[in-house]
C-alpha cells in the first residue's frame, strides 16, 4: 500500500502537492532514465531524500518553484525540475540534479507531484507510483525526513558550518516547527538564490 500525502501550501491553494516517500529503492536507474528521456508520464520531482533536512526544507523548495512558475520565471524545464533546482544554493542546474536529484545509487526517494491540472489526483498519482516505483513506502512526515537526513553532506553543500556551534540560532518557537539554526540558514539561502 503506497503512502501518499497531499499538502497544500498556504497562498498557493490551487496547486496541492502529492508527496510519496520511499526507502530501499531498487529501480533508481530506471526512474532516472525516464527523466532523462523526458517521458511525459514521469513528470515528478524525484529527490534524494537523504539530502533533505526537514519538511520545511522540502516545502520551501516547492514554494519557490511554484511561485517562480506562476510568475513566469522558471529557470529549468518545468515546475518539477524547478523543485530540484530550488534546493540548490547556486544557479547551476546540472549540479543541483547531481546533488539533490535521483541518481543510480539513490536508496531513499521523495517523489513529489504538483497538481498542475485536474488530471492529477492523489489516487492517480498513488496508482502510478505504486506501479513504477520498486521500493518500500514510508509515510511522508517531518520526522521521517529528519530521520533519514545525511546532516554532514547537507551542511557541506550549503556551507552551513561543520561544528554545530556557529549555526545555532534561537531555540524553539514553542508551537509548531522549531526553526533551528541550520534549517533557518538553509531556508534563507534558498530564498536568496538567484539574487
Partner 1 sequence: MPRALSITTHNASLGEAPLTPEWHSRTVASETAAHKMSFTAVPTASNSYQLNDSNEVQPLHSLPPPFTTTSSPGQTSSTKLIRQGAEALLYYTHFLSPSLPCALKYRPPKSYRHPILDKRLTRARILAEARVLVRCKREGVSVPAVLGAGWEEGWIAIEWVNGSTVRDAIFGRKTWRQENQASYEGGEKDLVGLMHKIGCAVGKLHQVGVIHGDLTTSNLMLRPTVSGAEGGEEPSATSAATPFDGTITLIDFGLAAQSSQEEDRAVDLYVLERAFGSTHPEVEHLFPEVLKAYGESYKGAKVVLRKLEDVRMRGRKKSMIG
Residues in contact with partner 1 by the rule CB under 8 A: 7-14, 55-56, 59-60, 63-64, 67, 70-71, 160-161, 165-181, 183-185, 187-189, 191-192, 195
Are residues 61 and 86 in contact, defined by beta-carbon separation less than 8 angstroms? yes
Q: Which is nearer to partner 1, 36 or 192 (CB)?
A: 192
Q: Could you give the C-alpha distances from 83 to 11, 31, 70, 113, in angstroms and in order?
A: 17, 17, 13, 10
The 10 Å Cβ neighbour count of residue 71 is 8
What torsion, rounded to 10 degrees, do the Cα atoms 168, 173, 177, 179 define? -20
Give the H/E segment covering residue 186. Answer: helix 181-192
Residue placing its CB nearer to partner 1 in the complex, 88 or 106: 88
Q: How far is the CB of 65 from partner 1 (least distance, A)?
A: 12
For residue 137, the Cα-to-chain-centroid distance in whole angstroms is 16
The least distance separating partner 1 from the CB of residue 61, rounded to whole angstroms, comes to 10
**Closest CB to partner 1 among 121 and 189?**
189
CB of 8 to partner 1, least distance (A): 6
Instruction: Round to whole Å and give the CA distance between 96 and 54.
Output: 18
Q: How far is the CB of 89 from partner 1 (least distance, A)?
A: 11
Round to whole Å and give the CA distance between 95 and 83: 13
Task: Give least dist CB 102 to partner 1, A.
Answer: 23
First to last CA, the chain: 43
Q: Which lies closer to partner 1 via its Cβ, residue 8 or residue 127?
A: 8
Is the CB of 12 or the CB of 93 nearer to partner 1? 12
Closer to partner 1 by Cβ: residue 23 or 141: 141
| Cell numbers at 120, concatenated | 492529477
In the complex, what is the shortest distance from the CB of residue 66 to partner 1, in angstroms, rounded to a whole number?
8
Buried/exposed 114-128: b ≥16 CB within 10 Å, e otherwise: bbeeeebeeeebbeb
Amino acid at each position: 500500500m503506497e503512502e501518499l500525502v497531499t499538502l497544500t501550501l498556504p497562498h498557493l491553494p490551487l496547486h496541492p502537492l502529492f508527496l510519496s516517500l520511499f526507502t530501499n529503492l531498487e529501480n533508481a536507474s530506471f526512474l532516472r532514465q525516464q527523466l532523462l528521456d523526458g517521458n511525459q508520464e514521469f513528470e515528478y520531482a524525484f529527490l534524494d531524500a537523504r539530502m533533505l533536512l526537514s519538511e520545511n526544507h522540502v516545502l520551501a523548495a516547492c514554494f519557490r518553484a511554484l511561485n517562480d512558475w506562476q510568475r513566469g520565471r522558471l529557470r529549468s524545464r518545468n515546475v518539477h525540475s524547478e523543485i530540484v533546482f530550488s534546493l540548490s544554493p547556486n544557479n547551476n542546474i546540472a549540479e543541483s540534479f547531481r546533488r539533490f536529484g535521483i541518481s543510480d545509487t539513490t536508496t531513499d526517494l521523495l517523489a513529489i507531484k504538483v497538481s498542475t491540472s485536474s488530471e492529477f489526483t492523489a489516487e492517480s498519482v498513488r496508482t502510478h507510483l505504486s506501479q513504477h516505483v520498486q521500493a518500500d513506502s514510508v509515510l511522508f512526515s517531518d520526522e521521517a525526513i529528519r530521520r533519514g537526513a545525511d546532516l554532514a553532506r547537507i551542511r557541506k553543500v550549503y556551507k552551513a558550518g561543520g561544528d554545530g556551534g556557529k549555526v545555532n540560532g534561537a531555540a524553539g518557537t514553542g508551537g509548531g516547527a522549531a526553526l533551528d539554526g541550520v534549517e533557518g540558514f538553509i531556508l534563507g539561502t534558498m530564498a536568496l538564490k538567484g539574487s
